[in-house]
Amino acid sequence: MIQFDCSRRSFLKTSVALAGTTALIADSINAHADDTSRPLFAYVGTFSSPLKDVLPTQVDLPPGNGRGIHIFQVNRQSGAMTPSGIYELGSSPSCLVLNSSGTLLYSANETDRVGDSKEGTVSAFSINRADGQLTLLNTVRSGGAGPTYVSIHPSGRFLLVANYFGGSVAVVPILPDGRLGVPADIKNDSGKIGPTKATNAPPGSFAFSGHDRTHAHMIQADPSGRFVLHVDLGLDQIFVWKIDDKTGALTPNEHHTVSLPPGDGPRHFHFHPNRRWFYSIQEEGSTIVLFDFEPRTGQLMSRQTISTLPEGFAGSNFCSEILVSSDGKFVYAGNRLHDSIGIFSVGATGELTYLGEEGTRGNYPRSFNFDPTGRYLYCCNQRGDNIAVFHVDRKTGGLKFTGHYAAVGNPSIIVFRDANAN
């Protein structure tokens, strides 16, 4: 057993102190992002149909209404979005991530077949600093079928990929020119598949999505870059890996797996700015679980479970996104079918209190994101073919619809880039 040099009480005191500093950090970031003289671009990933003249691959997944990666210019004052271009891509670039300097964009192309191979792909793009347009650098295989999530390791040297239909995760090198190399490591999930009925499902729920096989749904490094965490929805588990920041090799951490209640289906997670609180959202259980994260050992210790839905709700719901505000005061949780964003306050020790919810003004909110200032939240309503824009009350955490929509076929994710930020 590992011995810690601090008690749980002192651990919580340290967490509270760290939480108090996040507002100052957030204010500094927001002051920089508030410069209205610079264009602000948004990139929207979609589910799209195969385009034979653009992508010489075969796609087995259902076609979508998107046309690839949609580019918008964002009005910093009103939050409104103006179309600025489309990089046509028929391989469902459903997840996007920007590098820290905003010069490169990477996409997870949620296909499950390339030629005769049951595998998806990931792509690298350079970004024109003046107009935000994209140029394809290269596309490589993702190490599994249906890549649904990509993130960049804090070192900037690796793209981390979760292959949903393949039940695997991969570490893909980012080469000096921004292109992608072949995967440096691939790990295939294995274990006992959870039940189709979630332990914490709302009364009357028929929500069932991923308990048919392994489904790696998200992968991301902890803020220090020492550990890589990924969730498998079908196994109801969170995996913790050590990563070699030179080779990209993953090795099981001493505290390698954490199990969620059977059938609840962990989907996404988000670290609190203090780096010690970790929030996991469960797709079929409609819950958020708060974990204490020990940054020296990578250990996760659960401490609270709370529903994402209003008291008394009965019926089916699929959770989607979870985000912590940059000041660490609020947590936001996406509810599909209920079509709402649950709003929670963060207490002094990280525990959540349900404040209410806001309707998403569209069908099936797959994900949402804040603009760089945190004043606006953009919700991707996948089946509603739109992105709805909300004003964020930074004092209460509340959301208020601005009246602004952007029409996008099957939007899946939105990310933001300042034109001349660096």
Per-residue pLDDT of the chain (422 residues; tens, 9 = 90+): 333 334 444 444 444 444 455 555 455 445 455 566 688 999 999 999 765 434 444 444 557 899 999 999 999 999 999 999 999 999 999 999 999 999 999 999 998 877 777 899 999 999 999 999 999 999 999 999 999 999 999 999 999 999 999 999 999 999 999 999 999 999 999 999 999 999 999 999 998 889 999 999 999 999 999 999 999 999 999 999 999 999 999 999 999 999 999 999 999 999 999 999 999 999 999 999 999 999 999 999 999 999 999 999 999 999 999 999 999 999 999 999 999 999 999 999 999 999 999 999 999 999 999 999 999 999 999 999 999 999 999 999 999 999 999 999 999 999 999 865 55
Dist. CA 210–CA 319, nearest whole Å: 12
pLDDT at position 48? 93
Q: So where are the chain's domains?
A: 8-418
pLDDT at position 184? 98
pLDDT at position 5? 38
Rg (CA), the chain: 20
Contact partners, residue 296, CB within 8 Å, separation at least 6: none
pLDDT at position 23? 52
Yes or no: is domain 8-418 CATH 2.130.10.10?
Answer: yes
Cα distances (angstroms) measured from residue 348 to each of 9, 21, 69, 291: 13, 13, 40, 14
pLDDT at position 116? 75
Which of 146, 316, 295 is CA-nearest to residue 214?
Answer: 146
